[in-house]
C-alpha cells in the first residue's frame, strides 16, 4: 500500500529524499538516541511491506497539496503535532486532508480541537456521565477576582497545552492568592487561558485504545509510579519534569510501568469509562485516556489525548507490546483501523 507519513518538521524545504536520509541516520543510531516519531512510524511501515513517502510540513501547505496530488497515496498516516511550531494548530493538517479527500489515520479536526481544550472536553465528558474534577477556566488576561466554588487544593494548567507543559509542583495551589498568581503566570508564560481544577489524589493511570465503533481494543494499562522514599506527597504529580526529564525521573524514582494489580471490577469499570469517553469525544483509530484512581475506587478522567505519542518504548507502544503487538504490528493495527473505517458499508 502507498502510505504517506505527514508530520510537522523543523527542517525548512526538505523533501522526501532528505527526510529519508535523515531517517536512515537516526534509525542506524537508535541504540544511542531515539529517532523522531515520524521516522519510527515510516520505518515500521516499510518493515511491514508498504511503499512509504515522508512529507514533512513546516509552514508550506501548498507543498503538501502538491506532493500528495503527485503521489496519490492510498492512506496518509497523520503524525502532525503542530503547524508552524504552534501545537494549537495540530488540527490544521488533518483538516486539509479532509478537504482534499484523502484517507488518513487518527482523530478528525473537531476531536483534536475539543480534546485540546481541557474545559470543553470536561464538559462533554460530564454530559455523558463521566466523573471529572470540578474546575473553573480563565480566559487570557482574565483576572481571578474571587475564590472559585471549588475545594482546595487546586491544580492550575494551561488550558490548551499538552505533554504536561506548564505543570510543575507550583501548579498545586492551596489558597486564593496562590491561585491568582499561578493563573497570571500561565497567561504570561503561555499566552493562553488557564484552567484550575480540584486536585484528585490517586494513582495516575494511562489507558490506550485502538479501534472504532464496536471494536475498541483497550490495551493493558500503564501507570506513573513514584518512589515514596524519594518524593513528598505533593511531588507525586505528572509534571513536565516527571514525564520527560530522565535525570529528574531517575533522581526521584519515577517510572512508567504496566499498572499494578487492579481488581477485576475496578478494571472493568475503568475500561467501560474509557470506551464511553472515546465515543463521546469522537476519537478515532487510536487515543489515550488519562485518569486518576482514588483509594476508594473512584475513577476520575483528567483528559483524553486524541493524538498521543506512539514512539517505541513509550506508554502506548509499551501497552501494545504487552498485548502482543510488536511495534511494526502496532503501527499496522492503526493502519487497519483507519482502512476499516473508510471501507465499512
Residue 100 has what pLDDT? 97
Helices (H) and strands (E) in the chain, counts: 12, 13
Q: Which CATH class is domain 202-221+259-343?
A: alpha beta
Question: Does residue 184 have a pLDDT over 80?
Answer: yes
By three-state DSSP, how is residue 65 classified? helix
Q: How far is CA 1 from the centre of its chain?
A: 27
Over the stretch 288-332, which tens digit does the pLDDT of each residue have?
999 999 999 999 999 999 999 999 999 999 999 999 999 999 999
Q: How far apart are the first and last CA of the chain?
A: 21
Residue 162 has what pLDDT? 86
Q: What's the CATH superfamily of 134-198? A: ATP-grasp fold, A domain (3.30.1490.20)
By three-state DSSP, how is residue 158 classified? strand
Over the stretch 9-29, which tens digit does the pLDDT of each residue have?
999 899 999 999 999 999 999
**What ranges do the domains of the chain cover?**
2-104, 134-198, 202-221+259-343
Residue 78 has what pLDDT? 98
Stretch 138-145: mean pLDDT: 97
The reply to whether omega before 153 is within 30° of 0 (cis) is yes
Residue 114 has what pLDDT? 98
Residue 235 has what pLDDT? 78
What are the grid coordinates assigned to 249, written together? Answer: 525521573
CA dist., res. 211 & res. 83, Å (int)? 26
Residue 163 has what pLDDT? 79
Among residues 265, 305, 294, 275, which one has the least CA distance to residue 129? 275
CA dist., res. 287 & res. 55, Å (int)? 23
CA dist., res. 179 & res. 142, Å (int)? 13
What are the grid coordinates assigned to 292, written together? Answer: 486518576
Over the stretch 228-283, which tens digit does the pLDDT of each residue have?
898 887 778 898 889 889 999 999 999 999 999 999 999 999 999 999 999 999 99
CA dist., res. 156 & res. 185, Å (int)? 10
Q: What is the pTM of this model?
A: 0.95
DSSP lists the bridge partners of residue 304 as 289
Quote the mean pLDDT of the chain.
96
Residue 172 has what pLDDT? 95
Amino acid at each position: 500500500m502507498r502510505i504517506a507519513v505527514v508530520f510537522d518538521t523543523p527542517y525548512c524545504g526538505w523533501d522526501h529524499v532528505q527526510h529519508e536520509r535523515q531517517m536512515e541516520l537516526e534509525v542506524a543510531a537508535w541504540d544511542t538516541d531515539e529517532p523522531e516519531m515520524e521516522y519510527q512510524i515510516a520505518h515500521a511501515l516499510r518493515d511491514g511491506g508498504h511503499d512509504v513517502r515522508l512529507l514533512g510540513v513546516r509552514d508550506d501547505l501548498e507543498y503538501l497539496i502538491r506532493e500528495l496530488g503527485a503521489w496519490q497515496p492510498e492512506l496518509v498516516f497523520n503524525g502532525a503535532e503542530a503547524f508552524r511550531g504552534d501545537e494549537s494548530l495540530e488540527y490544521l493538517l488533518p483538516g486539509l486532508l479532509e478537504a482534499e479527500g484523502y484517507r488518513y489515520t487518527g482523530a478528525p479536526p473537531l476531536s483534536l480541537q475539543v480534546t485540546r481544550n481541557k474545559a470543553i472536553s470536561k464538559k462533554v465528558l460530564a454530559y455523558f456521565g463521566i466523573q471529572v474534577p470540578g474546575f473553573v477556566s480563565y480566559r487570557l488576561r482574565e483576572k481571578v477576582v474571587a475564590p472559585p466554588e471549588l475545594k482546595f487544593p487546586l491544580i492550575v494548567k494551561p488550558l490548551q497545552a499538552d505533554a504536561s507543559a506548564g505543570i510543575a509542583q507550583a501548579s498545586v495551589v492551596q489558597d486564593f492568592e496562590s491561585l491568582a498568581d499561578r493563573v497570571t503566570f500561565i497567561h504570561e508564560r503561555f499566552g493562553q487561558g488557564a484552567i484550575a481544577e480540584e486536585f484528585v489524589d490517586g494513582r495516575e493511570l494511562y489507558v490506550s485504545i485502538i479501534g472504532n465503533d464496536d471494536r475498541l481494543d483497550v490495551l493493558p494499562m500503564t501507570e506513573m509510579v513514584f518512589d515514596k522514599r524519594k518524593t513528598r506527597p505533593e511531588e507525586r504529580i505528572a509534571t513536565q519534569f516527571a514525564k520527560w526529564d530522565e535525570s529528574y525521573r531517575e533522581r526521584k524514582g519515577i517510572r512508567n510501568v504496566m499498572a499494578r494489580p487492579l481488581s477485576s471490577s475496578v478494571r472493568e469499570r475503568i475500561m467501560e469509562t474509557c470506551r464511553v469517553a472515546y465515543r463521546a469525544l469522537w476519537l478515532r483509530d487510536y487515543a489515550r485516556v488519562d485518569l486518576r484512581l482514588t483509594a476508594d475506587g473512584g475513577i476520575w478522567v483528567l483528559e483524553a489525548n486524541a493524538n498521543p505519542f506512539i514512539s517505541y518504548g513509550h506508554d502506548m507502544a509499551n501497552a501494545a507490546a504487552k498485548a502482543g503487538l510488536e511495534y511494526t504490528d502496532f503501527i499496522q493495527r492503526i493502519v487497519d483501523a483507519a482502512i476499516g473505517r473508510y471501507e465499512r458499508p
